């Protein structure tokens, strides 16, 4: 009999939502599709309007986790999928190259740990800094005449896409995937390596985002994580050792008083 594996754990992260009615509608959509954890960053008041719109999903609003800043809100989430209605077709603009919902679900089905789907403000979405923190970007294709969806509708569409194939996803090779904390250690090590090799400062941010997106699409097992950490760490040590040797040789060549 073919093995069946469950989809990973999902949560919804809302950054500075401004409309209580949208909060309620989002909670209702989450209940419809079996996602229970709601994380809020500097939200508007969760008032009577929010609870009325939530209908039977009031517990999701009552149990929502509230944070003052984005970094604290996503700490402990292993994989972040940012959402945007303003994608880019230019492959050099790594920050805004999106996956469509179908591709995202295919990727999510192979991802271990908790996945956070991040939605931005109703008026201008997620900031570039918040998008840069995400592993992938997801965009819902819409008519070009009016591409920006209401946030509660966008949440419902993505959660439907996630829920639909969750009934039977065939299990293949079970990989022990690197955790969110481990991936952040890798990106910190990558930054140290880029500094050590004098990677141009004006290219630094774009390069780091590009690598984050690559690993967001491909995933990273624990074995791959430790292998790459070893490669980068050895590279940094070799560069520093070479620099130290060169500096010592230069000092030897200086005239002695």
Nearest CA among 77, 178, 92, 88 for reference residue 133: 77
Give the end of a domain, one of 170, 201, 233.
Answer: 170
Q: Write down the H helix ranges in the chain.
A: 20-32, 48-54, 58-62, 70-74, 101-108, 128-133, 151-163, 180-196, 201-218, 222-253
- Decide if 225 is inside a domain: yes
Whether 165 and 185 map to the same domain: the answer is no
For 69-124, what is each residue's pLDDT tens digit? 999 999 999 999 999 866 554 444 445 578 889 889 888 888 888 999 999 999 98
Complete DSSP assignment for 5-21: EPPPEEEEEEES---HH
Residues 209 and 102 in one domain: no
Q: How many structural domains does the chain have?
A: 2
Q: What is the CATH number of the domain that holds 48?
A: 3.40.1280.10
**Residue 184: domain span:** 180-252
What is each CA distance from 253 to 241, 243, 248, 250, in whole angstroms? Answer: 19, 16, 9, 5
Closest listed residue to residue 148, CA positions, set 127, 171, 122: 122
pTM: 0.66
Bridge partners, 226 (sequence order): none
In a domain, 257, yes or no: no
Going by the DSSP 8-state scheme, the letter that residue 6 receives in this structure is P
Residue 49 has pLDDT above 90, yes or no: yes
Question: Quick check: 80 and 14 in contact, CB under 8 A?
Answer: no
**Per-residue pLDDT reduced to its tens digit, 183-237:** 888 888 888 888 888 888 888 888 888 888 877 776 777 777 778 888 888 888 8
pLDDT at residue 170, rounded to an integer: 39
Cα 212–86–184 angle (5° rounding)? 20
- Mean local confidence (pLDDT), 165-176: 46
Looking at the structure, tell me whether residues 51 and 153 fall in a common domain.
yes
Match 């995202």 to its residue by tokens: 104
């Amino acid at each position: 009999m073919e093995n069946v594996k469950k989809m990973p754990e999902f949560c919804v992260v809302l950054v500075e939502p401004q409309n209580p009615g949208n909060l309620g509608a989002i909670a209702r959509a989450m209940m419809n599709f079996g996602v229970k954890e709601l994380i809020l960053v500097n939200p508007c008041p969760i008032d009577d309007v929010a609870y009325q719109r939530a209908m039977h999903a009031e517990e999701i609003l009552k149990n929502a986790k509230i944070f003052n800043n984005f970094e604290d809100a996503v700490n402990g989430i292993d994989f972040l999928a940012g959402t945007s209605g303003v994608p880019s077709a230019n492959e050099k603009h790594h920050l805004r190259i999106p996956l469509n919902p179908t591709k995202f679900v295919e990727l999510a089905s192979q991802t271990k740990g908790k996945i956070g789907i991040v939605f931005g403000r109703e008026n201008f979405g997620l900031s570039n800094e918040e998008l840069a923190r995400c592993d992938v970007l997801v965009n819902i294709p819409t008519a070009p005449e009016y591409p920006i969806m209401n946030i509660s509708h966008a949440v419902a569409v993505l959660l439907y896409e996630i829920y639909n194939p969750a009934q039977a996803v065939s299990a293949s090779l079970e990989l022990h995937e690197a955790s969110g904390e481990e991936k952040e250690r890798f990106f910190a090590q990558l930054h140290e390596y880029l500094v050590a090799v004098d990677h141009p400062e004006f290219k630094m941010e774009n390069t780091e985002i590009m690598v984050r997106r690559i690993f967001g699409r491909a995933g990273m097992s624990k074995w791959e994580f430790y292998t790459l950490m070893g490669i980068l760490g050895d590279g940094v040590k070799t560069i520093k050792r070479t620099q130290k040797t060169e500096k010592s040789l230069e000092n030897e060549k200086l005239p002695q008083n």
